[in-house]
A and B are shown apart, each in its own frame.
Chain A
Amino acid sequence: MIVNQFLMLGAALFAMGVYGVLSRRNAVMVLLSVELMLAAVNLNLVVFDRAFRDELAAGQIFSLFIIAIAAAEVGIGLAIILLIFRNRSSANVDELDLMKL
């Protein structure tokens, strides 16, 4: 079991999250893709924690923090999307062009 197999999987997951954020039109789908990126970061943190045998388990603790903050982010993000949907009856990111000339 080499370290790089996990790291490459995390990189692939992150790249797919980036692709989703850029290519999805619906705001809820963009949030789902952000979750993919956060999952990739979590994987990397835990892998480094185990690879360097951290005495303080810092990688695992920070991945727990990321899980908690991701939950908060989803709550706020969905509330914002809900508000946008109520005001504009659309949740598509390319139709939110109020600040465009």
Chain B
Amino acid sequence: MKQTLLEVQDLSLRVGSFTLQEVSVQVHKGDYVVVVGPTGSGKTLLLEAIAGLIPLQEGRIIYDGRDITEESPESRHFGFAYQDSLLYPHLTVRENILFSAAVRGQADSPLIRQRLAELAEAMAIQPLLERRPGPLSGGERQRVSLARALLLRPSLLLLDEPLSALDPQTRAGLQKLLRKIHRDDEVTLIHVTHDFSEAIHLGTKMLLLKDGRVLQYGAPKELFSQPNSEFAARFLRVDNILSGIVQRKSRYSWFCTEKSSRLYGPLPEKVLEDWKVGIRGVLAVRAAHIRMFPEMNAGEVREGECSWPVMVIGVTFHGSYVEVACEGDDPWVIHISLAEWRSFPVARGERVWLACMLRDLHVIPCPAVIHDDR
């Protein structure tokens, strides 16, 4: 079992209009936690609270089994890097990286010099060491900022949207670097981001915040395939969200949509464990989880799938995939690969069938009236 490194217990605080309320999170050694949430949800505030930069109003922070709630930021020894790198303009790149060692009077020690050389090589910043940070590019600045945070080998690295201001190519390079740091340096990371592909690519855990509260915490795949609220589903960009109700029919549970009364299912048995029949909710299905096939093959439904007919009402190319908008009893959006598209290029007005694995029919409950016709 993985060892717990950081435990945030019922953390509450308020700074201006930003709040965190009863936030509890457990981070294990070696985790890469990505924190996502809308603007103003308290992501940066959470990082700053963990770093000790903001005093808590309530709650505790346990680090490596020790209560560090009252400890000052300088005694926590966490690495921290902000979005805009925040290098010190009056120091050279070398002095910036050595800053934490200089504060402790160790900047000239052989171990630190060796560490600087290692970092400079890993971050590919050797030619920049004697320069001032002013004229550096965004990617270079961010690499220097990471090197500065990593100099004294912190076991926890806190990153506040470090890649968001960079161009896609530089961002991809730094994502690779972060994965390498996570893997090779055995650093536990908490990384605030608003980029979902970055979150999926880097994170081993994902924390979704809304209005200063934890909405969901788990593996990124779990959050993406099984969001626990309609907000989470919408925020995590689930394309098909239909309101309706779960009904019991022929010993199975089905999702009956509000708009069409069509039944989708039978729903996986797990749904029944999670919530009761008759409660209103939404059916959330990712566009990529739906396949499309010609009307003439309507009988070829695979095992464990449910299928339904629709008409194509729009086709949009997105470079790496094609988005097909359909209208049947309910509106549907699906994403298909270019290869699939080439073998089955549909046009507006064409009738097709859609199919989805039953396990991908994700139902999210919301409180309502009981309805059961058993």
Question: Is chain B a partner of chain A in the same complex?
Answer: no
**Chain A residues close to B by CB (< 8 Å):** none
**Chain B residues close to A by CB (< 8 Å):** none
